[in-house]
Amino acid sequence: MSLATHVYPLLPPPLLPYLPFLTALFFLLLGLFLNPLGIPLPAFFDVHQRKGLRKATRAYAPPESLPTRHYVVLVNPNAGAGQGRIIYEEVILPMLEKAGQTHDVVWTVGPGHATEVCAAVAAGRLRGVRSGTGKIRSTATTTVTLAPPDCVISASGDGMLHECLNGLLAPAAGRATRASSPARSGAGCPVPLAVVPVGSGNGVSDSLYGRGCGPHAALAKIIAGKPKPADVMAVRYDGEEAVTYDLHYFSWAVFADHDFLTENTLRFLGPMVKMIVAPIIVLCRRTFYSAVVEFEPAPVPKDLLLTGAYADPKVFAKSERDPSMRRIEDSFWCFAVGNLREAGGGLMPVPNVRMCEGAADILMVRRSKTNSWLGRLIMWRSAMMFLSMDDGSHTTADDVEIVKCSRLRLEPGVSSEWGWKGGRGIFQCSGQEMGMPKLSMELSVEKGRARVMVAD
């Protein structure tokens, strides 16, 4: 009798030749489901991944003439199912050294930590900055002293970059985010921002460096790049003076429902499985949320006027509250405001928005525009719409509307259907959940407020 039969007495003999394959499959599933929880995996996977990253790092050849910069690198060790530390040690650290660049590293320990660090950087408080240990799920901290940076790199997903932006725009000079004191808009970002994609959602990296751009390619473009201005969306709630800033997307309705599932309810499934299950759930639910939306139209570039990608704002009634704005009162299945093209995951909801034009694009799917003979947006049509967002072909669909705006006001109602948060839905910026306003929120686009490091 073979050794395998002794060791695996319950395994049917016909399956014994497939024992190595079954073992590998078991550990792969273990990694997909359990690694986000910080459960240690077999060292084989860690070693194998590091070898591949080292090979790509050795192949990196920095340009002959590079400006010498000092970077502050913020790393989320939990990002990408615990890949943050590996990407830093095998990609960021050796590539910066190879290019003759200097840096300080700060390990984040939880939500809001990146905002705290970047606020200190913007205000020049570089001593006694809190940093974690770099271990997954660890909240232990120490203090570090940073050198004045030429650029801040966020090694994570879109959410931590959102935190970094709010920190840089909220130093002690009087500006703030919703989490702190009253804000004053107008001053620019004091330090350029960059992102090395590590998270499950890497829409900003895809927009700045190309769809599917990995850590090596993104960092190479950062090192050789130059800072360029980018628009910032400023979100304010009625009755509050504080502001939330964002570079990427403001989402409500189906996109926010999807991100809520992936970052909360389904997070335990792991990065790949949750991204499969969440779309199925939101497509099956097909919840419409009622709201009153008012927006101020912005000019559409001439080369886009004849493409049919944008709705004519004149078809919407003028707002009685502000005649410069247009008013829509309806139920929405999809509502998103995009400041960059790529949303992450290969989706491009607003493919024609530009990085520094003083305007953002609103993507809407509302009940009154769906085909009347269907009665409502059916699951098949919803799925086709999502699939067509990979190349932007959804923009010409009859039930999809995109308008360009410089500011908007959104007053959510209570959905007659079952929905999140008591039927009012969820507000998100870059996948980060925000509290719901008492009455309404206002979003304005501040042209060139941020600086991002992109390829020259």
Asked whether residue 22 is domain-assigned, the answer is no
**Per-residue model confidence as pLDDT tens digits over 308-348:** 899 999 999 999 999 999 999 999 999 999 999 999 888 99
Q: Please, which residues bridge with residue 454 across strands?
A: 226
pLDDT at 187: 62
pLDDT band at 31 (very low <50, low <70, confident <90, very high): low
- Do residues 144 and 219 share a domain? yes
What CATH number is attached to the domain comprising 183? Answer: 3.40.50.10330
If you average pLDDT over residues 46-50, what whole number do you get? 75
Tell me the two tokens of residue 318: 């003028």
pLDDT of residue 267: 72
Rounded to whole angstroms, how far apart are CA atoms 91 and 219? 8
pLDDT in tens, 235-286: 999 988 889 999 999 999 998 988 888 877 777 776 666 777 788 788 777 7
Of 6-15, 198-207, 321-330, 398-407, which range is least confident? 6-15
- Does residue 243 fall inside a structural domain? no
Of 138-142, 330-334, 383-387, 425-429, the range with the lowest mean pLDDT is 383-387
Instruction: Please indicate, yes or no, if residue 357 is contained in any of the structural domains.
Output: yes
Q: What is the pLDDT of residue 32?
A: 53
Higher pLDDT, 417 or 303: 303
* Domain assignment present for 27: no
Residues 190 and 263 grouped into a single domain: no
Predicted pLDDT at 98:
96
**Closest among 214, 447, 182 to 339, alpha carbons compared:** 447
Q: Which residue has the higher pLDDT, 297 or 285?
A: 297
Tokens of 301: 């570039």
Average pLDDT, the chain: 83
Assess whether pLDDT exceeds 70 at residue 163.
yes
Same domain, 225 and 352: no
Residues 6+ apart with CB under 8 A from 12: none
CA 253 to chain centre: 16
3-state secondary structure of 338: strand
What domain count does the chain have? 2
- Domain with 220, as residue range(s), is 48-231
Mean pLDDT of the 142-169 span: 95
pLDDT of residue 207: 96
Last residue of a domain, one of 202, 231, 260: 231
Q: How far apart are CA 116 and CA 125, in angstroms?
A: 11
At 451, the pLDDT band (50, 70, 90 cuts) reads very high
Same domain, 310 and 414: yes
| C-alpha span between 442 and 239 (Å, rounded) | 11
What does the pLDDT read at residue 174? 44
Query: Between vectors from CA 178 to CA 172 and to CA 183, what angle results, nearest 5°?
Result: 45
Please name every residue paired with 308 in a beta bridge, in sequence order, or none if there are none. none
Residues 193 and 256 grouped into a single domain: no
Q: Are residues 209 and 253 in the same domain?
A: no
Phi, psi of 71 (to 5 degrees): -110, 145
- Which pLDDT belongs to residue 63? 92
Confidence of residue 37 (pLDDT cuts 50, 70, 90): very low
- What separation in angstroms does the CA of 164 have from each of 5, 42, 118, 228, 451? 56, 33, 6, 17, 12
Q: Point out the domain boundary residue: 201, 231, 261.
A: 231
Among the residue ranges 272-276, 303-307, 349-353, the one predicted with the least confidence is 272-276
Q: Residues near 21 by Cβ (< 8 Å), separated by ≥ 6?
A: none
pLDDT tens track for 62-110: 998 898 999 999 999 887 767 889 999 999 999 999 999 999 999 999 9
Q: Which residue has the higher pLDDT, 182 or 43?
A: 43
Q: Are strands 193-197 and 151-156 parallel, antiparallel or unpaired?
A: parallel
Q: What's the rounded Cα separation, in Å, for the pair 234 and 407?
A: 9
Q: Is 119 in a helix, a strand, or coil?
A: helix
> Are 189 and 113 in a shared domain?
yes
Number of H helices, E strands in the chain: 14, 17
- pLDDT band for position 5 (cuts 50, 70, 90): very low
> Are 221 and 262 found together in one domain?
no
Please state the φ and ψ torsions of residue 429, each to the nearest 5 degrees: -125, 120
At 12, the pLDDT band (50, 70, 90 cuts) reads: very low
Question: Do 59 and 156 sit in the same domain of this protein?
Answer: yes
Q: Are 294 and 408 in contact (CB under 8 A)?
A: yes
| DSSP string for 363-402 | EEEEGGGS-TTTSS--HHHHHHHHHHTTTTGGGGSTT-EE
Query: Which among 155, 160, 188 is positioned nearest to 71, based on CA atoms?
Result: 155
Based on the fold, state whether residues 216 and 258 are members of the same structural domain. Answer: no
Lowest mean pLDDT among 164-178, 223-237, 366-380, 414-428: 366-380
| pLDDT surpassing 50 at residue 142 | yes
Which of 112, 92, 107, 103 has its CA nearest to residue 68?
Answer: 103
CA 402 – CA 381 distance, rounded (Å): 18
pLDDT at residue 19, rounded to an integer: 53
Helix (H) or strand (E) holding 327: strand 326-338
Instruction: Give 315's DSSP letter.
Output: G
Cβ of 164: how many Cβ atoms within 10 Å?
A: 29
Q: Find the angle CA(353)-CA(354)-CA(357) to the nearest 5 degrees.
A: 115
319 and 207, same domain (yes or no): no
CB burial class (10 A; 0-12, 13-18, 19+) of residue 60? middle
Question: Which is nearest to 68 in space by CA: 97, 106, 90?
Answer: 97
Position 179 confidence tier, pLDDT thresholds 50, 70, 90:
very low
Give the CATH number for residue 409.
Answer: 2.60.200.40
Same domain, 290 and 398: yes
